Amino acid sequence: MNETLLIKNGYIITLGENNRVLKNHSILVEDGKIKKIGHSKDFTGQYGHVINASGKVVMPGFINAHMHFYSTFVRGLCKAKPSANFRELLENLWWKLDKCLTLDDCYYSALLPLIDAVKRGTTTIMDHHASPFAARGSLNKIAEAVKKTGLRASLCYELSDRDGQSIARDGIDENVDFIKRCNSEKDEQLKALFGLHASFTITDRTMEQAAKAGSELGAGFHIHTAEAKSDQEHSEKNFGMRVVERLHKFSILGPKTIAAHCVHVNAREMDLLKETDTAVVHNPQSNMNNAVGTADIIKMSNKGILVGLGTDAMTVNMLEELRVAMWAQHLRHDDPCAGFMESISTLPFNNAKIANRHWETKLGELKEGYAADIILMDYYPPTPFDENTFLGHLGFGLSQSFVDTTIAGGKVLMEKKKLKIDVDEREAAKESLKLSAALWERF
């Protein structure tokens, strides 16, 4: 009995194929999963823990489909040279930063955004990690931080040839070891993908080795794809083909693969993404920040490509990213009505579909047998609130509300805005501050 958790009296948003808004219903959680959803009057037993969701909206935890935890340590750093384009940004900032990371840095730069994710109701994160001079063991370090906070994460190491053959080898080995770990442990908090930086930093030889190693382990890939125009120019000049064509040639594409960005893909490349059922992850804030353009997610969605939403380390607040995704399509298409459904569906529906290609436990829907990854948000709807109006409320009202309670795998990680995780946030921040200051010295 003490293992059970009952959430009662809220507006329950189920999401999923048949999204419903349920009133006067309760959710019973047992063994990390949703045991039963029904009329509140049917729950008359004794429960280990009861959460009163009156004045709250109860919905599945958010999923972030593209993130870089390590970027945390760049916050406030003013030492990078000014950059005129995306390539220079990588060289002057990101590739200088990631070279300075130690294994301890990997742990703490992940721990802080993970704590923040609990506060923002993001319960699953698909991360893409780089630390070329501390590659080996880095994913286990990040996994430790994930385990500590109780969230779920898919991790991968960003393989590239930019630091020479030996570090590229480390990148392959790090991916392989972590995929093997996840395959054998079957821990539902941790999943693995094979990480690749991007087409323009990976030679044919390394791409071939990665493709072979990843496919032998049954893993999907996670790669930045045609993020900037320069990725396409590099591919056409050096390989005589477009970026997505090159990834297809090496069998990198597929249902388990995440192609992040796809800002500069043509119709033929979209067809390849569709044919291979590859998931595209849109990161509008990052694309604007890097001045690389805006992906045409309307066109991709119309072709039937599964388009999810990531934050690319700009934030862990998925609702902030979602709103930007909406406005970005308006600007992209010079039309104030363009792409409402295509953009707003990315977070609540498409990210769940992407995650469910990786997790055995079903995520992203409040349904019996599904993961008890549940959040409560403060919300008193000022206008009629039901299945037909929910997406409008999500974009324009709920997105401005506070997360009150976060539950992942049936564990209450935050309740009434108080963290209940096994980490002292203040101590973690203190350690992070010390480590980042030292890293800035090395930068």
Binding stretches for Zn ion (CB under 5 A): 312
Q: Is 361 helix (H, G, I), strand (E, B) or coil?
A: coil
Token pair, residue 220, equals 């999907």
Closest to 282 measured CA to CA, from 208, 377, 354: 354
Distance CA 241, CA 267 (A): 14
Q: What's the half-sphere exposure (Cβ side, CA atoms, 13 Å) at 420?
A: 13
Q: Closest CB to Zn ion belongs to which residue?
A: 312
Distance CA 423, CA 208 (A): 41
Q: If 0-12 CB within 10 Å is exposed, 13-18 middle and 19+ buried, where does residue 169 land?
A: middle
Q: 22 vs 325, which CB is nearer to Zn ion? A: 325
Beta bridge partners of residue 222, listed in sequence order: 195, 258
* 35/87 with CB nearer Zn ion: 87
Tokens of 245: 């064509």
CB of 80 to Zn ion, least distance (A): 17
**Residue 9 vs 72, nearer CB to Zn ion:** 72
* Smallest separation, CB 71 to Zn ion (Å): 9
The answer to whether the beta carbons of residues 27 and 405 sit under 8 Å apart is no
CB of 375 to Zn ion, least distance (A): 25
SS3 157: strand
Query: Minimum CB separation from Zn ion for residue 116, in Å?
Result: 18
Least separation in angstroms between residue 260's CB and Zn ion is 5
CB of 386 to Zn ion, least distance (A): 37
- Which residues lie across from 26 on neighbouring strands? 8, 38
Cβ-contact 301, 307 below 8 angstroms:
yes
Report the nearest approach of Zn ion to the CB of residue 224 (Å). 5
Burial class (CB in 10 A: 0-12, 13-18, 19+), 58: buried
Query: Rounded to the nearest whole angstrom, what is the least distance from the CB of residue 335 to Zn ion in the complex?
Result: 28
Instruction: Name the residue nearer to Zn ion (CB basis): 264 or 393.
Output: 264
The label of the residue with tokens 């953009």 reads 343
Question: Is residue 128 within 8 Å of 68, Cβ to Cβ?
Answer: yes
Q: Which is nearer to Zn ion, 26 or 317 (CB)?
A: 317
Q: How far is CA 411 from the centre of its chain?
A: 20
| 51 or 244: CB nearest Zn ion | 244
Q: How far is the CB of 68 from Zn ion (least distance, A)?
A: 5
* Nearer CB in complex with Zn ion: 311/399: 311
61/375 Cα distance (integer angstroms): 5
| Nearer to Zn ion among residue 245 and residue 312 (C-beta) | 312
Nearer of residues 282 and 323 to Zn ion, judged by Cβ: 282
